[in-house]
């Protein structure tokens, strides 16, 4: 199976790295790449033993799965100049481009998978939302192969397109928000005598462990918070002070702004 990437920005590279570090038996030479900047895609292909392709159309003609990883501002122009065979799935990671618009740019009968991955895919820890058009869903084997591109880099979840802006806010942008929280907790650690390196290591492992417990225990975050918060203890005092200072409201307002922005660019 040959997977072709049109566009080679940070998200495309994260997806590719997720594939390469996975245990799947996908030959790196079967990953085809092309982008506007020759130095970028040629050097990257050489570094990871991928196959560089000299044009977008040539890449399409040689690929079993076609991944559109273009910036929204150039995607319309680039895609409209290409010819897509209707027997091969097109996978989009283009922010704001819905299935209808992608169908208009490619073919009415094009099998299409719309996705929203996050950059954690690079380490096999990604979270990707997807929705497929009926044409692709009717092609069971091709549908599963298209999903595999993302399941190799982490977890996948099927959502309606109406839910994509919300997903983008808490998962795509959420990576930055969670890292910002790690940074804030680390600075607090430095305030009380830890080195920055020590604090980041402690907080990051605590964040990783906490997330893993929520996933594997099937408990709600509230249940786990209650276990940690002893009556009259330090933790509950800290939580109440954060809430008094508007922690929850600040988080919700940040997500509101992100969703509003995502809705504005949705097609």
CATH number at residue 181: 1.10.3730.10
The backbone torsions φ and ψ at residue 88, rounded to the nearest 5 degrees and listed phi first, read: -130, 130
Question: Domain check: are 139 and 50 in the same one?
Answer: yes
The last residue of one of the domains, among 161, 183, 200, is 161
- The answer to whether 187 touches 202, Cβ cutoff 8 Å, is no
Each residue's pLDDT tens digit, 140-179:
999 999 999 999 999 999 999 999 999 999 999 999 999 9
Give the pLDDT score at 263. 81
pLDDT of 262 reads 82
For residue 3, CA distances in Å to 42, 132, 227 come to 16, 18, 46
Task: Answer yes or no: do 183 and 156 share one domain.
Answer: no
Domain boundary among 116, 135, 161: 161
Domain boundary among 138, 161, 184: 161
Q: Write the pLDDT tens digit of every residue in 49-67.
A: 999 999 999 999 999 999 9
Please give the pLDDT value at position 52.
Answer: 97
Q: What stretches of 117-186 adopt beta strand conformation (E)?
A: 126-132, 154-158
We report the CATH number of the domain holding residue 116 as: 3.40.50.720
Based on the fold, state whether residues 97 and 24 are members of the same structural domain.
yes
pLDDT at 14: 96
Residues of the chain with pLDDT under 50: none
- Cβ proximity of 56 and 34 under 8 Å: yes
Residues 248 and 223 in one domain: yes
Q: Is residue 203 part of a domain?
A: yes
Q: Is residue 166 a part of any domain in this protein?
A: no
| Confidence (pLDDT) at 265 | 65
Bridge partners, 158 (sequence order): 130
Number of domains in the chain: 2
Are 70 and 152 contained in the same domain? yes
Task: Tell me whether residue 237 is in a domain.
Answer: yes
Q: Are residues 64 and 120 in the same domain?
A: yes
Record the tokens describing residue 1, joined without a space: 């199976």
Domain assignment of residue 57, given as a range: 3-161
Backbone phi, psi, residue 264, to 5°: -65, -30
pLDDT number for residue 6: 98
Give the residue ranges of DSSP H helices in 63-133.
72-80, 99-105
Position 167 in a domain: no
Q: Which residues of 169-203 are buried (b: 16+ CB within 10 A; e: fewer)?
A: bbbbbbeeeeeeebeebbeebeeeebeeeebbeeb
Residues 6+ apart with CB under 8 A from 116: 93, 95, 128, 129, 130, 164, 167, 168, 171, 172
């Amino acid at each position: 199976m040959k997977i072709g990437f049109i566009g080679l920005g940070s998200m495309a590279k994260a997806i590719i790295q997720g594939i390469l570090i996975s245990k799947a038996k996908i030959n790196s030479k079967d990953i085809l790449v092309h982008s506007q900047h020759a130095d970028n895609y040629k050097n990257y292909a050489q570094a990871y033993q991928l196959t560089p392709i000299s044009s977008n159309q040539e890449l399409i003609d040689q690929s079993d799965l076609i991944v559109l990883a273009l910036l929204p501002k150039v995607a319309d122009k680039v895609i409209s100049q290409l010819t897509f065979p209707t027997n091969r799935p097109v996978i989009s990671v283009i922010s704001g481009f819905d299935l209808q618009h992608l169908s208009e740019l490619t073919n009415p009968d094009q099998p299409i998978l719309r996705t929203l991955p996050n950059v954690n895919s690079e380490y096999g820890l990604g979270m990707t939302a997807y929705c497929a058009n009926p044409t692709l869903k009717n092609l069971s084997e091709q549908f599963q192969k298209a999903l595999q591109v993302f399941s190799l880099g982490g977890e996948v979840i099927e959502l309606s397109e109406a839910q994509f802006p919300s997903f983008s806010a808490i998962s795509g942008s959420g990576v930055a928000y969670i890292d910002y929280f790690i940074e804030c907790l680390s600075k607090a650690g430095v305030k009380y005598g830890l080195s920055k390196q020590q604090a980041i290591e402690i907080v990051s492992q605590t964040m990783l462990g906490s997330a893993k417990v929520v996933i594997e225990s099937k408990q709600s975050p509230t249940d786990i918070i209650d276990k940690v918060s002893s009556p009259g203890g330090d933790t509950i005092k800290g939580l109440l002070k954060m809430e008094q200072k508007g922690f929850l409201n600040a988080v919700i307002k940040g997500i509101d702004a992100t969703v509003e922005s995502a809705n504005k660019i949705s097609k």
